[in-house]
Amino acid sequence: MIGIPLMFMCLTYTGDLLADAFISGYSRMINFVYRRICRGHLKDCIPDDTRQSFENPDSESDDSRHVPIVATLAVLALYITMGALLFAQWENWHVLDGAYFCFITFTTIGFGDLVPGKGTVTESKAGKAAMCALFLLFGMIVMAMSFKLMQDEIMSKFRRFGRRFGFVKRSNDPG
CATH architecture of the region 71-157? Orthogonal Bundle (1.10)
Q: Which of 5-9, 55-59, 60-64, 94-98 has the highest mean pLDDT?
A: 94-98
Q: What is the mean pLDDT of residues 89-116?
A: 90
| Amino acid 37: pLDDT | 78
Whole-angstrom distance, CA of residue 84 vs CA of residue 65:
31
Q: What is the mean pLDDT of residues 68-92?
A: 94
Buried b (16+ CB within 10 A) or exposed e, 117-146: eeeeeeeeeeebeeebeebbbebbbbbbbb
| Amino acid 136: pLDDT | 92
Sign of the Cα torsion 23, 26, 29, 30 reads negative
**What count of Cα atoms within 13 Å lies in the side-chain half-sphere of residue 174?**
0
What's the predicted TM-score (pTM) here? 0.77
| 18 residue type, one letter | L
Q: How confident is the model at residue 116 (pLDDT cuts 50, 70, 90)?
A: confident
Is it the case that residue 124 has pLDDT exceeding 90?
no
Q: Where are the domains of the chain?
A: 9-38, 71-157
Is it the case that residue 50 has pLDDT exceeding 80?
no
Contact 150, 69 (CB under 8 A): yes
Residue 167, helix vs strand vs coil: coil
Is it the case that residue 83 has pLDDT exceeding 90?
yes
Is it the case that residue 77 has pLDDT exceeding 90?
yes
Is it the case that residue 98 has pLDDT exceeding 90?
yes
Sign of the Cα torsion 103, 105, 110, 112 reads positive
Contact 86, 98 (CB under 8 A): yes
Is it the case that residue 134 has pLDDT exceeding 60?
yes
Give tens-digit pLDDT for 11-27: 889 999 999 999 999 98
- Ramachandran angles phi, psi of 93, nearest 5°: -90, 165
Three-state SS annotation for 77-136: HHHHHHHHHHHHHHHCCCHHHHHHHHHHHHCCCCCCCCCCCCCCCCCCHHHHHHHHHHHH
Taking each helix axis as running N to C, give the angle between helix 48-55 and helix 3-38, from 0 to 180 degrees, rounded to the nearest 10. Answer: 110
